[in-house]
Structure 1
Amino acid sequence: MSDEPQFHLGCSLHACPCGFLGDHQQDCTCSTSDIKRYRKRISGPLLDRIDIYVHVSRLDYSEMTNTIPSESSAIISQRVAMAREIQYARLSKYNIFCNAHMGHKHIKSACRMTNGAQTILEQAFSKMNLSARGYDRILKVARTIADLAQAEELTELHIAEAVHFRNNMQENY
C-alpha cells in the first residue's frame, strides 16, 4: 500500500460563481477577478489529491432524447474487469491490487513509457507546475487508461488523456 490514505471523493464544482462558464446556452456573468477569487477558495493541496477532473456540459434536448444505442454497461464492465485483472497480475507481488494504490516505487516499474510519452509528460510537468504527487497521479491514471486498452507501455495518447483529465483549475474551460 502507498503511504497516503486512499479514498474516493465524488464532487461537483462549478467553474465560476454563476455556474455558466463554458456553457453553450447561457453566458457567464462573472468577471475574471470573481472567477479567480472563487477558485482560490479551494485548497491547492486538496486539488492536488484529485485524480480526474471532468467538465460536463449541459445536455441539449436532442441529446437527452437520442435513441442511438451507446456502448452497453455490460461491455464497459467487461473492459473494466479485464483491466483490473491486468492490474492484479502486475501488482499482486507488491500486495497491492490496483493502480490507485501504487506508490512512487511501483509507478517506476509499472509505468514504462515511450519516448514521446515522456516528452509529453515532461512538458505537462513544467507547464502545469506539477508537484511530485501530481506527477504520480497522472502516471496512475495513464497506466489505468493503458490497462483499459490492454497496452503494456504508456504511449503519447495515454499520457495526453491523463493530462487532459488533470484539468488545471486556474484555466478557463
Structure 2
Amino acid sequence: MTSTLEHPHPATRLRSVLESAAAEDGTLPPLDQALVRAMALPDDLPETLGIAEVAELTGITAHTLRYYERIGLVTVARDAAGRRTYDRPALGRVMFVTWLRLSGMPIATVTRYVELAQEGPHTSDARLDLLLEHRAAVVSHLRDLQTALAVVDYKITTYGGSCGS
C-alpha cells in the first residue's frame, strides 16, 4: 500500500502548478486541465482510507473530519470494528469541501450547497447561483487583498526595502 505521505497536500500540488503557470505579475492562469489534475486525488490511493490517513493526506484534522460528518457534509462508511472508512467518493467530497473552505466559503453556505446537491440534479441552477455569488465575494476579497498588498509594498519601499519576489 502506498503511504499517503508520498502524496503532497492538495493545496501544495495546486500551488506548485499555479506558480509554474503564473504570469510575471503574479496573475493566475485560467482553469485548465493541468489545474484540474493538480486538484484531483492521486490514482494510486488505496480503495479505502482511515481517518488518520485522510487527515494526513488532506491536512484536515481528524476532529474537523468528524465534524464534517456530524453536520452532514460527508457520509462515511464504517468497518466491522466501527472505524470510519473513506472511499474515493467520500474523500472527493472532503477535498471539495476543503477547496470551498479555502476559498473562504462559510460552513453554512457549504452546508447549503451540499443539501442542494443531495436533492438532485434539478437544483443545479440554485447551486450555480450559490457558486456565482461566492465567486463574486472571492473576487471582491482578492481586490481588497491586492489593495492591502499595495499599501504594504509602499511602506516596504518607504523604508528602503524591495518587494521583488
What range is the shorter-chain TM-score in?
under 0.3
Which structure has the highest helix share of the two?
A: 2
Q: For CA contacts below 8 A with separation 6 or more, give which structure has more relative contact order.
A: 1
TM-score (normalised: structure 2): 0.25
